[in-house]
Amino acid sequence: MFRIVFYQPEIPPNTGNAIRLAANTGCELHLIEPLGFSLEARHLRRAGLDYHDLALVRVHADLDSALAHLLPANVYAFTTAATRRYTDVRYQPGDVLLFGPESTGLPSPVLAGDAITDSVTLPMLPSSRSLNLANSAAVAMYEAWRQHDFAGAGEPAS
Question: Is 103 flagged in the annotation as binding?
Answer: no
Spell out where the chain has E strands.
Answer: 3-7, 28-32, 56-60, 75-78, 96-99, 118-120
Q: State yes or no: 130 annotated in a binding site.
A: yes
**Nearest-angstrom CA–CA distance, 158 and 156:** 6
| Ranges of H-type helices in 3-155 | 12-25, 42-48, 63-70, 108-111, 133-146
100 is in an annotated binding site: yes
Q: Which residues make up each annotated binding site?
A: 100, 122, 130
Annotated binding site for S-adenosyl-L-methionine: which residue ranges?
Answer: 100, 122, 130
